Structure formats: structure tokens, C-alpha cells
């Protein structure tokens, strides 16, 4: 049965109400979807990040499936160990999932991630990317975008965002995808696909953070949608090396259908200071990105 | 309990309201106008706090014990069936 809102399970399988996330937090939305798609037979590995607070303080937890909190650099390695243990025990029906922030993925956990990907260990690694170290007070990460304000880039970051899904795709793993909190069903479909593949699966989920990005908490979904509609965050998957744009992004190869990037940037206080010149840089960035995507779409790239 | 009796690995127990009744955080309160609702379930899908309850007939109601009043449901409802009103 194809996924739709109606046939997602009614009950909350992974995240229960009364957790510690800020109002409008994308992590709550993302974890609910993970539970509804992957089901109860899921083990989740979480390094230090906002999620380790959201789950709630000892002795209680808002998370209903087994969750292991691990040190920052180790998530993929710990998940590999858990997956190997299940394999040795003959348990075949459990999804072992890493749920890590962008700091824990693009910076601190990158070597463990690369190791697990190269070994093609049987796990689903999800990076929820709120584009900074949010839990410790909005410090820049290598996944923070160009010109974004953070508490450590007070005049705007000088560098562009690191392209982690492209790096991971180069490990010749069976499945890599991008997703956005603005399109939960696209994310759900990718999770479902990942759960049926043996080996290393990577999903990079853009997760707009109202606190760190400085927008009203009611706009989390809208910002997540605009990131995609402007072309700044393309939704795609790389399945057995073949690159394919998905859902809304499929229609955006035609430039006239893309929303001007300014609309996305101006909605967020972290870009409040940007100039017309900066916006031009962004427009050129998006145009160049889509020239590359046009060449990749439908092709074997690894 | 002596230190020796403490678990080597602290294990938390799952429960609803792990940090208490988070509805107390709310400044604005979502009110669903049932006569306008078309049961599309957008609000249920997007609520970060699992505070929209979906019944067997896909009717939606708010769980005010845990709704934090973020306003996502009201903003995303395609028929504007949800209104945010200031808490007293
Ligand atoms: C080795 C180590 N360094 C620093 C920290 C402090 N720390 C805890 S959470 C966090 C931020 C994590 O950022 P990210 O992975 O992007 O997740 P987010 O908080 O944004 O959800 C930091 C720096 C730590 N726990 N361990
Ligand atoms: S989003 Fe609006 S119309 Fe759709 S189910 Fe919720 S209240 Fe009803
Ligand atoms: S206001 Fe926010 S927390 Fe409350 S029901 Fe709506 S989406 Fe959920
Ligand atoms: Mg982060």
C-alpha cells in the first residue's frame, strides 16, 4: 500500500507527548514519523544533541522504543555494534537507527559515519540537520549555511554548507536520500524504502529550528517547504548509485517554477542582516546547483 | 539505597509526560472549529508534540495537557479550521 496520511498508524510508536522540545521543534515531527514508519521493532542511537534533552530527564523518557545515548563521536560505531549483535543472534526484523544532529554528523561523528558506511553495516543513519549546534546555544557547524548568523558567526558565516549526503553517497552504499520536515510523507517514503534494504542507508533531513533560525514556531513546516521550493534544498535519492530527484523537487528543474530564494531567507532572523549582494550570491548558488542536478538526474553517479 | 545497588547503566522508563504537563508552557491555545474541519489530518501529521488526537473516524481534538501552543496546526490547516487564542 502506498504511504498516505490516512494509512500512517494513529498511535504514537516512538515519541510520546510531554517531551522537552521547544514549541514548534522539528525533531518532534521527525521522530513521530520515524516511529510510524519503522514501527516498534526499532532501536535508536542518539549522540549528544537536542534530542538527548527532548527525550526527558532520568528516570523518565518520552521515547517508547529502546534508545541508547552515546558519546558524540561514536553513534555510527555503536549502531554498527548493535546491528552486528542482532545479526549474530539471528534477529533479522529490527531497524537499528542513528538519529544525530548536524554537529554530530558533519563534524564530530563524521569518521564513525564514514567507517560504518564503508563497511556497509546494516543501519539507517538519519542526520536531522538544524544547521548549527543548537543544544549548546546556536554555535556554527560545518552544516551552517552561508551568511547565517549563529553565536559564533555574529556577522554571518563566511563559508558554505558542507554537502554531507554527497560525501556519504561516495561510499557506494545502497541508499542515500535527502528530506525536509516540510514534506513528511516524502521523508516517510524514504524511510520505508531504507527499512527494506540491507546495508548502510543514509537520510539527511533538513530540520528548521525556530529558536536557532529565528522564526515564529508556527512556521516550521512553511520554512521546511520553502527550503525545497526555492531549490536551495533539493529532495533526492541515490539508490544503488542512481541519482533521482523526488516529489516536489522533480518539478523544479524548470527554473521558472522555483520560488525566489529571498523569500526563504527573509523569513528567518538569522539572515536579517544579509544584503542584496548576498542574495545574488545565493541566487547564483541555486542556479549552479540545479545545473549540476540536471546532469545527475536519472544517471548512475557512483 | 546504597551506591552499590544503583544500576551501572541508568535506564529511564518511558511515560507520557516525561517532563510533566507541557501544556502549561502555552501562551496561545489552538481551538478546532469542528464544523469547518475536513478531516485532512494535516494538523495531526505536523504536530511536534503528538498533541492532536485522531480518533477512529479521523476526528481531531487537541490534548491540552501537552499542547505547547506552537501554532503549527493553525498555520497549516488548509481550511483555517483552527484558531489560536490567548490563554487567560
Ligand atoms: C565531545 C563533546 N563535545 C561537546 C559536547 C557538548 N554538546 C552537547 S550537545 C552539543 C551540540 C550538538 O549539535 P548537533 O549535533 O547539531 O545537535 P543539535 O543540538 O543541534 O540538535 C554539544 C556541542 C559534548 N556533549 N561532547
Ligand atoms: S488540518 Fe484543519 S481540516 Fe485538516 S484535520 Fe486538522 S483541523 Fe481538520
Ligand atoms: S499548537 Fe502546536 S503543540 Fe498545540 S496542537 Fe497545534 S501543533 Fe500541536
Ligand atoms: Mg544541530
| CA B73 to each of CA A83, B45, B52: distance values in angstroms, whole numbers, following the listed order | 37, 9, 9
Q: Do A10 and B54 touch (CB under 8 A)?
A: yes
Residue A92 in domain:
yes
A 1-60 → B contacts, CB under 8 A: 5-6, 8, 10, 12, 15-29, 32, 55-60
Residue A21 in domain:
no
Would the pLDDT of B46 be above 90? yes
| Spatial contact of A235 and A183, defined as CB atoms under 8 Å apart | yes
Residue A14 in domain:
no
CA distance A152 to A90: 48
Please report the pLDDT score of residue B4 as a whole number.
81
Give the number of domains in chain A. Answer: 1
Which residue numbers in chain A have pLDDT < 50? none
Q: Do B18 and A19 touch (CB under 8 A)?
A: yes
CA distance A10 to chain B (A): 6
Q: Which domains, ranges and CATH numbers included, belong to chain B?
A: 1-88 (3.30.70.20)
Which residue in B14, B49, B69 is closest to A64 by CB distance? B14
Residue A15 in domain:
no
CA distance A259 to A229: 6
Please report the pLDDT score of residue A120 as a whole number.
98
Please report the pLDDT score of residue B41 as a whole number.
98
ipTM: 0.96
Residue A126 in domain:
yes
Please report the pLDDT score of residue B7 as a whole number.
75
Q: Do B12 and A61 touch (CB under 8 A)?
A: yes
Long-range contacts of A78-86 (CB under 8 A, 24+ apart): A78/A45, A79/A45, A79/A116, A79/A121, A79/A123, A79/A125, A80/A115, A80/A116, A80/A119, A80/A121, A80/A123, A82/A43, A82/A45, A82/A123, A83/A121, A83/A122, A83/A123, A84/A121
CA distance A94 to A43: 7
**A55, A218, A220, A226: best mutation site toward chain B, by most B Cβ within 10 Å?**
A218
Look at the block and give the residue holding cell 503549527. Answer: B72
| CATH number, residue A264 | 3.40.50.970
CA distance A39 to A93: 11
CB of residue A46 inside a 6 A radius of ligand 1: no
- Length of chain A in residues, anyone? 302
Distance between alpha carbon A40 and the CA centroid of its chain, in Å?
21
Average pLDDT value for residue range B49-73: 98
Please provide residue A214's backbone torsions phi and psi, each rounded to the nearest 5 degrees.
65, 60
Please report the pLDDT score of residue A1 as a whole number.
65
Residue A185 in domain:
yes
Q: Percentage helix, strand, coil, to 5, in chain B?
A: 20, 20, 60
Structural domain of residue A183, as residue ranges?
26-296
* Strands A236-239 and A175-180, sheet pairing: antiparallel
Report which ligand 3 atom has the smallest distance to the Cα of A24: 2
Please report the pLDDT score of residue A20 as a whole number.
98
Please report the pLDDT score of residue A7 as a whole number.
95
* Average pLDDT in chain A: 97
pLDDT band at B52 (very low <50, low <70, confident <90, very high): very high
CA distance A124 to A274: 37
| Spatial contact of A193 and A174, defined as CB atoms under 8 Å apart | no
Would the pLDDT of B30 be above 90? yes
Amino acid at each position: 500500500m502506498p504511504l498516505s496520511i490516512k494509512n500512517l498508524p494513529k498511535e504514537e510508536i516512538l515519541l510520546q507527548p510531554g517531551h522537552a522540545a521547544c514549541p514548534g521543534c522539528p525533531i518532534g515531527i521527525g521522530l513521530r514519523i520515524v516511529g510510524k514508519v519503522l514501527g516498534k521493532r526499532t532501536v535508536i542511537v542518539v549522540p549528544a544533541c537536542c534530542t538527548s534533552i527532548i527525550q526527558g530527564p532520568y528516570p523518565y523518557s518520552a521515547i517508547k522504543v529502546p534508545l541508547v545515548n552515546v558519546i558524540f563521536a561514536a553513534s555510527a560505531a555503536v549502531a554498527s555494534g548493535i546491528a552486528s549483535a542482532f545479526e549474530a543472534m539471528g534477529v533479522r526484523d529490527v531497524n537499528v537507527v542513528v538519529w544525530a544532529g548536524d554537529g554530530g554528523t558533519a563534524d564530530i561523528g563524521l569518521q564513525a559515519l564514514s567507517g560504518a558506511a564503508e563497511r556497509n553495516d546494516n543501519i539507517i543513519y538519519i542526520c536531522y540537520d538544524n544547521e548549527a549546534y543548537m543544544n549548546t546555544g546556536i554555535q556554527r557547524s560545518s552544516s551552517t549555511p552561508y551568511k547565517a548568523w549563529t553565536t559564533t558567526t555574529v556577522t554571518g558565516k563566511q563559508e558554505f554548507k558542507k554537502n554531507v549526503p554527497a560525501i556519504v553517497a561516495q561510499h557506494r552504499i545502497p541508499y542515500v536520500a535527502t528530506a525536509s520536515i516540510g514534506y513528511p510523507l516524502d521523508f516517510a517514503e524514504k524511510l520505508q524504502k531504507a527499512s527494506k534494504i540491507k546495508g548502510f542507508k543514509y537520510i539527511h533531513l533538513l530540520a528548521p529550528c525556530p529558536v536557532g533560525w529565528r522564526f515564529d514556531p508556527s512556521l516550521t513546516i512553511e520554512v521546511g517547504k520553502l527550503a525545497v521550493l526555492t531549490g536551495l534544498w533539493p529532495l533526492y535519492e541515490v539508490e544503488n548509485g542512481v541519482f533521482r530527484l523526488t516529489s516536489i523537487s522533480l518539478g523544479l528543474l524548470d527554473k521558472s517554477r522555483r520560488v525566489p530564494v529571498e523569500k526563504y531567507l527573509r523569513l528567518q532572523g538569522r539572515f536579517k542582516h544579509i544584503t542584496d549582494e548576498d542574495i545574488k550570491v545565493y541566487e547564483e548558488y541555486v542556479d549552479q546547483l540545479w545545473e549540476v542536478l540536471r546532469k545527475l538526474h536519472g544517471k548512475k553517479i557512483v | 539505597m546504597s551506591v552499590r545497588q544503583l544500576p551501572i547503566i541508568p535506564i529511564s522508563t518511558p511515560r507520557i509526560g516525561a517532563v510533566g504537563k507541557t501544556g502549561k508552557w502555552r501562551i496561545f491555545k489552538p481551538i478546532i472549529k469542528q464544523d469547518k474541519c475536513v478531516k485532512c489530518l494535516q494538523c495531526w501529521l505536523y504536530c511536534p508534540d503528538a498533541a492532536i488526537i485522531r480518533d477512529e473516524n479521523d476526528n481531531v481534538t487537541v490534548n491540552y495537557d501537552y499542547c505547547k501552543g506552537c501554532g503549527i496546526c493553525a498555520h497549516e490547516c488548509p481550511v483555517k479550521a483552527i484558531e489560536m487564542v490567548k490563554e487567560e
